[in-house]
Structure 1
Amino acid sequence: MEQIMTAETRADRRALVAAGVTVLLWASAFVAIRSAAQDFSPGALALGRLLAGSVVLGAIWLVRGEGLPPRAAWPGILGSGILWFGLYMVVLNWGEQEVDAGTAAMVVNVGPIVIALLGGWLLREGFPPLLMAGMAVSFAGAVVVGVSMSGGGHASIVGVLLCLFAAVTYAGGVVCQKPALRHASALQVTTFGCFVGMVACLPFAGELVSQLGTAPLSATLNVLYLGVFPTALAFTTWAYALARTTAGRMGATTYVVPALVVLMAWIVLGEIPGLLTLAGGLLCLAGVAVSRRRPGTA
């Protein structure tokens, strides 16, 4: 019994470390996207990132010789590939052309609530009162963020809406990915999800080639960084941890991302959201925290 508990503890620790790596790298992605968005359009940036990620993941997959995912895993791989690797990345890139990195991270982080909603609907897990209360609080936060950005014109409000849509596609990707991990390894699910997203973004190939010719080296290196670290590495560590816990708990690990993004964006880009925007973002996160509480907990 003691040996079993020790093995479970080690597995939990490995999953926690994997989740920590994911959170840190995903936080850095918001800053890198914001920087690269000055030289690459949303679709071209997504395709470049996915191409770099596919090369790295494909090489690792070939070396490990894990083979093709089982047929049962493919619905989840296709769903997560289209929604998360493809659509999410394009929409987030677009949103970050309109709002700063910290604001984007705070709005996108309502994703765990959407995950819980989709779980209640698709997996028949129900809709607890705390979930509905958390939704109301997060919606109020999103409204505050939108109002705070309205001084920057229509484009800023569009940016907030795009980030909200990105949160929905992120949540949909997680819900699709979880069942796939019952049948295939984290590497298989991540690698082929990345391949699917890359294929979905191929219509932007012309833009990518054109913009690579004019972009400065720093912007191109940002694209490569996004593909190798926040995509190839972080999505794999995410899938590894997700396979060992619930989607809801994994969603909760992203609470710390906005704080890291605000700090990184301040250091690297000199950006920091305004006080009203920060207040709205904190409301979004408070709503997520409320939605994930269990009844009777302090």
Structure 2
Amino acid sequence: MAAASVTVVLWASAFVSIRDAGAHYSPGALALGRLLAGSVALGLLLLIRREGLPPRAAWPGIAVSGALWFGVYMVALNWGEQKVDAGTAALVVNVGPILIALLGGWLLKEGFPPMLMAGMGVSFAGAVVVGLSMSDGGSSSVLGVVLCLVAAATYAAGVVGQKPALRYASPLQVTAYGCMVGAVLCLPFAGQLASELGEAPASATLNMLYLGIFPTALAFTTWAYALARTTAGKMGATTYAVPALVVLMSWLALDEVPGWLTLLGGVLCLAGVAVSRRGGIRRRPQVAAVVDAPAQTATEDAR
């Protein structure tokens, strides 16, 4: 729960940082800069902890999550938020946790627990309320909606692909090499990043570095740690707390006072997360001691 909470708070803070960095960096350049910063930070952690390459069995999941979640998702989300208003983006991207629950129940055989599905329904209703309260009603485009749908779909597919990899590799390995895969796929944007670095203000560049080190390197690692100990569906439902935290952080950091409808939506998001998390994070089963029957019988005979 602590790891999941760190992830949710840092991912919420990312929306505030993207507001500044996205005004001075193009979507691909921002994604590449963020992933390069995250890869450096995660690479240093790998060296410090002396963790080498993941086992071969983990690479399919790492490749899928790296390409879809770290790569396509970040570019599509950055681009989509430039084409649609914040409310529409929030509505469309929040389809992602529902897709995670459906794909996890089907592909990962996690099933469809009633409390999880009920909680996700409440949280999605809250996300709808937040989205409607933030919508400006006139800046949405078909391309922007499609890009946000791509972001939601690749986010869900990346999470479901990452889950099996955590059976064979550590959360740090899965996150680090997934981030590096995403950075490699974003290298075609290197020219844009180089040219925009010289023109962007220091605050935008610092926000890009913050995005790479904290919401990417740290938050994705704590996410993987928690995902290894619970189901993909429950972890996806946890991210419905992000809209509520974004509203609070925007209020504190950007002086954007939320209306009563926005606050109501945030409360619904948190209530849905509480419902979906009933039962807590699944603990790893205790390994029972196995006593050899013949040896036990011999001991009893000796007595």
Cα RMSD of the aligned pairs, angstroms, is 3.2
Residues 182-230 of structure 1 show CA distances to partners (whole Å, capped at 9, x for unaligned) of 0000010000000000001011111111111100000000000000000
SS in 1 for 2:239: helix
Q: Size of the alignment, in residue pairs?
A: 278
How far residue 62 of structure 1 moved from its aligned partner, in angstroms, is 1.3
How far residue 273 of structure 1 moved from its aligned partner, in angstroms, is 7.1
Give the corresponding residue for 1:81: 66
Q: Which has the larger radius of gyration?
A: 2
Q: Aligned AA for 1:21?
A: V
Tell which deviates more after alignment, 165-174 or 190-199. Answer: 165-174
- The question of whether the paired residues in 2 share the 8 Å contact of 1:27 and 1:260 is answered with yes
Give the corresponding residue for 1:22: 7
Tell which deviates more after alignment, 220-229 or 281-290. Answer: 281-290
Give the corresponding residue for 2:171: 186
1:176 to 158, 161, 173: 161
Distance 2:140 2:29 in 1: 20
Give the corresponding residue for 2:45: 60
Give the corresponding residue for 2:288: none
How far residue 117 of structure 1 moved from its aligned partner, in angstroms, is 1.6
Describe the shift of the 1:260–1:277 C-alpha distance in structure 2 as closer, same or farther (beyond 3 A).
closer
Give the corresponding residue for 1:72: 57
Residues 18-66 of structure 1 show CA distances to partners (whole Å, capped at 9, x for unaligned) of 1111111000011111221100111100000000000000011012111
Residues 147-187 of structure 1 show CA distances to partners (whole Å, capped at 9, x for unaligned) of 88886435356544433332221111110000000000001
TM-score, normalised via structure 1 length: 0.79
Give the corresponding residue for 1:264: 249
Gaps of 5+ in 1: 1-15
Counterpart check, 1:238 vs 2:223: yes
Of Structure 1 and Structure 2, the greater helix share is in: 1
Residues 89-114 of structure 1 show CA distances to partners (whole Å, capped at 9, x for unaligned) of 111111222323x7644542332210
Distance 2:207 2:264 in 1: 30
- The question of whether the paired residues in 1 share the 8 Å contact of 2:58 and 2:166 is answered with yes
Aligned runs of 1:98-137 on 2, under 5 Å? 98-100=84-86, 104-105=89-90, 107-124=92-109
- The question of whether the paired residues in 2 share the 8 Å contact of 1:146 and 1:160 is answered with no
Q: Aligned AA for 1:155?
A: S
Distance 1:291 1:68 in 2: 35
1:254 to 228, 239, 258: 239
